[in-house]
């Protein structure tokens, strides 16, 4: 994918604050600190268009970015962020679930996981949510550069088992080496440009 432009549009907590639903949209989700901002920045060739969760504020909201004036990327707030107040944690579920269940232009969700960690209930529940709403998922294991090839393979198998998916359905990624960038775009391209089966 050739990126000609990428621009922050707005932050939103509720549907009335979302930008008009006009372009096909892809959302990104994952535990805080998993490498979500790094992944988005890597695939759109930007250093820090998407801010990291180390700077709370904007990251507890749903952030919209327009890419190539052709589609929208949505950075969902990271879950499991230890430093946010309980009230904010409580609003995460409804805020994200409202977005997922109401956004007509949403074509798919990229769920980013750390290859070194076995997925927990949050990830499993999130995948169940997506299936419930009929939203296609793209499952990515990031930070692969932190493991040897042998350990990557071991983790790939163990994570695919935990999630109940075929290992071929998990994309290995690294923001450091840029491994998996093309594979992510292949999946996104299919979701953005091909008709969603219903
Ligand atoms: P976010 O909270 O999910 O948006 O996570 P960030 O993208 O801010 O990344 C959290 C930390 O992990 C930062 O220190 C990043 O530099 C680091 N990081 C993210 N992706 C990778 C990766 O693929 N490889 C390595 N080695 N570090 C990464």
CATH superfamily of 6-193: P-loop containing nucleotide triphosphate hydrolases (3.40.50.300)
pLDDT band at 138 (very low <50, low <70, confident <90, very high): very high
Does the pLDDT at position 16 exceed 80? yes
Does the pLDDT at position 52 exceed 70? no
Q: How far is the CA of 39 from the centre of ligand 1 (A)?
A: 8
Q: How many helices (H) and strands (E) does the chain have?
A: 5, 7
Task: Check: CB of residue 99 under 8 Å from CB of residue 76.
Answer: yes
Q: What is the pLDDT of residue 90?
A: 66
Task: Check: CB of residue 196 under 8 Å from CB of residue 12.
Answer: no
Does the pLDDT at position 119 exceed 80? yes
Task: Check: CB of residue 4 under 8 Å from CB of residue 56.
Answer: no
pLDDT band at 125 (very low <50, low <70, confident <90, very high): confident
Ligand 1, atom 24, lies closest to the CA of 143
* pTM as predicted: 0.93
User: Which residue, 1, 47, 48, is CA-closest to 26?
Assistant: 1
User: Which residue, 148, 172, 149, is CA-closest to 159?
Assistant: 172
Domain locations along the chain? 6-193
44-51 mean pLDDT: 85
Q: How far is the CA of 35 from the centre of ligand 1 (A)?
A: 4
Tokens of 69: 């004036």
Pocket residues: Cβ below 6 A from ligand 1: 30, 32-38, 52-53, 78, 142-143, 145-146, 174-176
- Ligand 1 atom with minimal separation from the 173 CA: 23
């Amino acid at each position: 994918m050739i990126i000609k432009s990428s621009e922050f549009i707005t932050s939103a907590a509720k549907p009335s604050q979302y930008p008009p639903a006009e372009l096909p949209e892809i959302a990104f989700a994952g535990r805080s600190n998993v490498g979500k901002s790094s992944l988005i920045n890597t695939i759109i060739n930007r250093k820090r268009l998407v801010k990291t969760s180390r700077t709370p504020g904007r990251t507890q909201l749903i952030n919209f970015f327009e890419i190539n004036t052709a589609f929208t990327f949505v950075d969902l707030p990271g879950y499991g962020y230890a430093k946010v107040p309980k009230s904010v944690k409580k609003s995460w579920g409804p805020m994200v679930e409202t977005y997922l269940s109401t956004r007509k232009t949403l074509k798919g969700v990229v769920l980013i996981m750390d290859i070194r960690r076995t997925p927990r209930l949050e990830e499993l529940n999130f995948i169940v949510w997506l299936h419930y709403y009929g939203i296609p998922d793209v499952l990515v294991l990031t930070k692969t550069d932190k493991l040897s090839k042998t350990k990557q393979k071991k983790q790939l198998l163990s994570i695919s088992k935990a999630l109940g998916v075929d290992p071929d359905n998990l994309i290995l990624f690294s923001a450091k080496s840029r491994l998996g960038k093309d594979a992510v775009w292949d999946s996104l391209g299919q979701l953005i440009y091909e008709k969603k089966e219903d």
